[in-house]
Amino acid sequence: MSAKIFKARHAMGPLVRGTALVASDGFSARYDLDRIKGVFSRPAHKLAGQSYVGKILVLDTAKGGVATAWMLHEMKSRGIVPLALVLNSVNPILAQGAALGDVAMLAGFDQDITAAVPNGAEVEVDPAQGVLKLI
Amino acid sequence: MKLNDEEQDILAGKAGPVPQLALKHQIKVGDFFGAKDFVPVTQAHIMADTESLGEAGVQWLEGLAATTEGQRRVRVPTITDPRGTDFAKAEWLGQTSAMVDLERRAIAAFETLGVAMTNTCINYQTIQPPTRNEHTAFGDTGVVIYANSVCGARSNFEGGPSALSAGLTGRTPRYGFHLEQARRGTLRIEVDHTPASLNGWGALGGVIGRIAGNYWAVPVIEGIEGAPRSDQLKHFGASMASFGSTALYHLVGLTPEATKLSDVSANDLPVHRVTKADVEALQRSYHTDDTVDVVVFSAPQLSLYELADLALLCDGRRFSVPMLAVTSPQVKPDSDRMGYTARIEAAGGAVLSGMCFYQSYAREISEARGWKRLATNSAKLVNILGGYGYRPMLASMEACVDAAVSGKLVRT
């Protein structure tokens, strides 16, 4: 059986495999996360209370300010970081943060990626090919 | 990306390892967004509070600063966003010596790299506003949206590493809002209400930011009456950028690229109506309690005019809960000189300088001082602080000062 594959228009970082944590909501490291505990902490966020550590986050769009550009790097240094970020749309800050932190990232799909990937699915993020695969 | 001779030399390491590393970082980002080449920038502005950097980020900066080979100083004027503390008030805020030490290390590294520690998020009011079509590399979303929209300058959101890289190389990848076509409107907003208060302008910006929804959306806004003041557009843009990650808006007939609707908008754009009720609903959604632990005026830092208004409201009052007013190092001496600081302090308030509340270990401050229920007139601040464990409430400056006196926030 062939894997289901989604092509992204923007990609960077290393190839990774892991469990998808999916929500139709935004992402900002400063606004949404308790970076000490490694969980989503913004009460209104659809993933509030859930751990993001080691997960492949599949979310809608980048939100908020510029701090994420440093915070991915800082979280990675402590091992409290998502494995990859997969979004319908990103802003420059997420891309800059992924570049500094060497975090895999895909963005820009022909469909709503948060509806296409089941929460908890095992997925592969392959930035060199610019694709997300459901394993 | 297409590189010119100078850029190829930088990439080859001929200017030394620091600009080489910076250019490599910029190429990664430029390639991600499909930038064809670089554009020279005239100034850069770095967001780099140590809560964001952490030990890892500070060590990264120190590594650059310790490099003695080649060029390690910035090539264009490069300034900083607020720090993570006001050193004079760190103990009162409940910040630890480890936090303060990390700040001092970051500052030392930046100074070695030639960065000017302006520590302000209102550089468009206090340092040097950019001019129309000036390409810059600004950090802090509130700075970018003001520079793009009100000044007609050209900047993307440049996070700390990218803004520093732009300072070191004197250029930035040409994508996003450096390109003419990205600056056209993508949606129209018709408003039926022009706010008067700063919290009202912030709430309106928040409503529009939520509708716009992402970085690449450019709202074209009609229906604003009169000529908004800089402080009003400061709160409007900072909130829109916070709620929507928005980096550019046009006010038809007011902002420089939108003399008329057709300058920035096609005929077939989707139209959204924003009413006074929408703005009030956003404000009411943050009226979650009637008791406050602390009152904060910050995000963005206060202008001299805001401090003058605040001083007037403080006259003859006595606060029962802490009240913080946060401004820039450029404004604070004038506030002292005009007597505003003394009048605010006489009521029991504190005027802090060079930091911004949410960039200053807000979670740790909350835990150290027992501050949870926070009243402010900043829509941007209420949008951010929920994730830090606060229960933030949005109200007018007048209502917030009353709350500092009584400990109770009257719902408006």
How many interface pairs between A and B have CB atoms less than 8 angstroms apart? 138
Helix (H) or strand (E) holding B398: helix B397-406
Task: For residue B56, list chain A residues with Cβ-Cβ distance below 8 A.
Answer: 73-74, 76-78
Q: How high is the pLDDT of residue B106?
A: 98
CB contact (8 A) between residue A10 and residue B33 = yes
**Quick one: pLDDT band at residue A132, thresholds 50, 70, 90?**
very high
Domain end: B283, B301, B330, which one?
B283
Do B358 and B267 lie in one domain? The reply is: no
Tokens of A35: 């970076």
Tokens of B341: 């600081």
| B371/B365 Cα distance (integer angstroms) | 7
Give the pairing of strands A122-126 and A16-22. Answer: antiparallel
Q: How many CB atoms lie within 10 A of CB B307?
A: 24
| Nearest CA distance, B32 vs chain A (angstrom) | 6
Rg (CA), chain B: 21
Rg (CA), chain A: 13
Owner of token pair 């009353």:
B402
CB contact (8 A) between residue B53 and residue A65 = no
Task: For residue A74, list chain B residues with Cβ-Cβ distance below 8 A.
Answer: 52-57
Q: What is the DSSP string of A59-101?
A: EEEE-S-STHHHHHHHHHHTT-S-SEEEEEE--HHHHHHHHHH
Do B303 and B276 lie in one domain? The reply is: no
Task: For residue A112, list chain B residues with Cβ-Cβ distance below 8 A.
Answer: none
- Dihedral over Cα of B42, B47, B50, B53: its sign: negative
Helix (H, G, I), strand (E, B) or coil at B181: helix
Do B229 and B370 lie in one domain? The reply is: no
Q: Is residue B326 part of a domain?
A: yes
Q: Is residue B21 part of a domain?
A: yes
Q: Is residue B112 part of a domain?
A: yes
Number of domains in chain B: 3
Lowest-pLDDT range of A82-91, A102-111, B37-46, B384-393? B384-393
| Nearest CA distance, B337 vs chain A (angstrom) | 33
Q: How high is the pLDDT of residue B252?
A: 97
Interface residues of A toward B, Cβ cutoff 8 Å, are 10-12, 26, 28, 30-34, 36, 41-45, 61-71, 73-74, 76-78, 89-93, 95-97, 99-100, 105
Q: What percent of chain A has pLDDT over 90?
A: 91
Helix (H) or strand (E) holding B153: none
CATH number for the region A4-134 comes to: 3.50.30.10
- Ranges of residues in chain B whose predicted pLDDT is under 70: 412
Q: How high is the pLDDT of residue A65?
A: 82
Considering only CB atoms, B57 lies closest to which of A42, A64, A73, namely A73
Do B233 and B127 lie in one domain? The reply is: no
Tokens of B25: 């970082």
Task: For residue A72, list chain B residues with Cβ-Cβ distance below 8 A.
Answer: none
Whether A127 has a pLDDT exceeding 70, the answer reads: yes
Task: For residue A31, list chain B residues with Cβ-Cβ distance below 8 A.
Answer: 383-384, 386-387
Do B140 and B70 lie in one domain? The reply is: yes
Domain that holds residue B324: 286-406
pTM of the model: 0.96
Q: Is residue B411 part of a domain?
A: no
Do B171 and B194 lie in one domain? The reply is: no
Domain end: B152, B180, B208, which one?
B180
| B369/B223 Cα distance (integer angstroms) | 43
